[in-house]
Amino acid sequence: MGKLENWVEKQWYQGNPSGWMSALKPLSMLVSMEARRRLKRFHRRRQIPPVPVLVVGNITVGGTGKTPLVIALVEAAHQRGLTVAVISRGYGGTTTDYPQVVRADSNALEVGDEPVLIARRTGAPVILNPDRRAALDYAIERFNPQLVISDDGLQHYALPRSAEVVVIDGQRGLGNGQCLPAGPLREPAERLKEVDFLISTGGGWAGAHPMLMHPAGVAPVAGGEIQDLVAFQRRAPQVHAVAGIGNPKRFFNLLNLLGFSIKPHVFPDHHAYRAEELHFGDDLPVLMTEKDAVKCAPFAEPNWWALPVEARLPDGLVEQMLDRALNGETA
């Protein structure tokens, strides 16, 4: 994480803003006004989706844990026998070739780490296009899905939707409550009153359903079978912990809870790794997030490992989300 990015996040989430940040509040007021205007326009011109569309998004910048929830929803829909397509912007990727179907073997540097991770974990087609409505139309034409799940896209109001799920980082919350650039919010906090489901990761949030990240084991970054986490921790109690995600502290805290002694290494979100960046001058294992692993797999070394996680939610909640989307009105 760069020094400027780190400084900005401290201003957003740790209070006592500097004079520079306070001076940005007039711009934040304009962002807030524009967000309210766009939302009102969306309600006036609301479109009915041609198939059920479930949007999983957030109102803050940075990572909140959406991807594991998207994976859980796709897997639950598959268990029902439904055909599912996922649409995504592909943030962090270099491609400009849209629309594009992401597969398990797609290049994560080109199409983005999250779409590749979703494709690998679920087997569902992931359609890449910054224009979410165009992605939806392409998904319907190409795959004829019974359900479309949008990974992010809450503020993309050209996209018709049947239900909305918002994920909040329960530890960081909404920061100072200001819209960009003086705060981390994409929209005013009042937007949360309109969504169908509010999910909190990593901590409690009033009115939100809790979601826990449950480690599924450890997996070689180069590919191979998932191994038992307890056995791995016993033979490797100290590791280099690598995270290039929106909130790396969440990953590091999880490793500490699992009993690891860590040497943390923070990289920017969606970082394009080079092999030499992960050489730390000793023989300790390197343990990284699954999202980072999809980008490091082509040059992975034997002692590099990933920590796959599964979203754990209250009983029946994932089914309720699917029901809300599937029972909504369609054209």
Which residues, 6 or more positions from 252, have their beta carbon under 8 angstroms from its beta carbon? 241, 243, 262, 264
Neighbour count for residue 257 (Cβ, 10 Å)? 9
What is the rounded distance in angstroms from the CA atom of residue 88 to the CA atom of residue 135?
8
Q: Is the pLDDT of residue 7 over 70?
A: yes
Q: Is the pLDDT of residue 319 over 90?
A: yes
Q: What percent of the chain is modeled with pLDDT above 70?
A: 98
Which is more confidently placed, 285 or 93? 285
Q: In the predicted model, what is the mean pLDDT of residues 281-287? A: 98
Side chain identity at 178, as an amino acid letter? Q
How sure is the predictor about 17, in pLDDT bands with cuts at 50, 70 and 90? low
Closest by CA position to 167, among listed 133, 212, 123: 212
| φ/ψ (deg, to 5) at 115 | -60, -40
Side chain identity at 114, as an amino acid letter? E
Q: Is the pLDDT of residue 1 over 60?
A: no
Which residues, 6 or more positions from 81, have their beta carbon under 8 angstroms from its beta carbon? none
Q: In the predicted model, what is the mean pLDDT of residues 259-275? A: 96
Binding-site residue positions:
60-67
How sure is the predictor about 2, in pLDDT bands with cuts at 50, 70 and 90? low
Joined tokens for residue 36: 């309210």
Binding-site residue positions for ATP:
60-67
The answer to whether the predicted template modeling score (pTM) of the entire model surpasses 0.85 is: yes
| φ/ψ (deg, to 5) at 55 | -95, 130
What are 85-131's pLDDT values in tens digits?
999 999 889 999 999 999 999 999 999 999 999 999 999 999 999 99
pLDDT at position 247 is: 87
Stated as kind and residue range, the H or E segment containing 293 is helix 290-296
Q: Is the pLDDT of residue 80 over 60?
A: yes
Q: Is the pLDDT of residue 16 over 70?
A: no
Closest by CA position to 216, among listed 64, 71, 56, 80: 71
What are 205-236's pLDDT values in tens digits?
888 999 999 999 999 999 999 999 999 999 99
Q: Is the pLDDT of residue 241 over 80?
A: yes
Joined tokens for residue 327: 């029972």
Mean pLDDT of the chain: 94
Which residues, 6 or more positions from 182, have their beta carbon under 8 angstroms from its beta carbon? 17, 21, 22, 24, 25, 27, 28, 176
What is the rounded distance in angstroms from the CA atom of residue 327 to the CA atom of residue 313?
21
Q: Is the pLDDT of residue 18 over 80?
A: no
Unique residue bearing structure tokens 């910054």: 130
pLDDT at position 246 is: 85
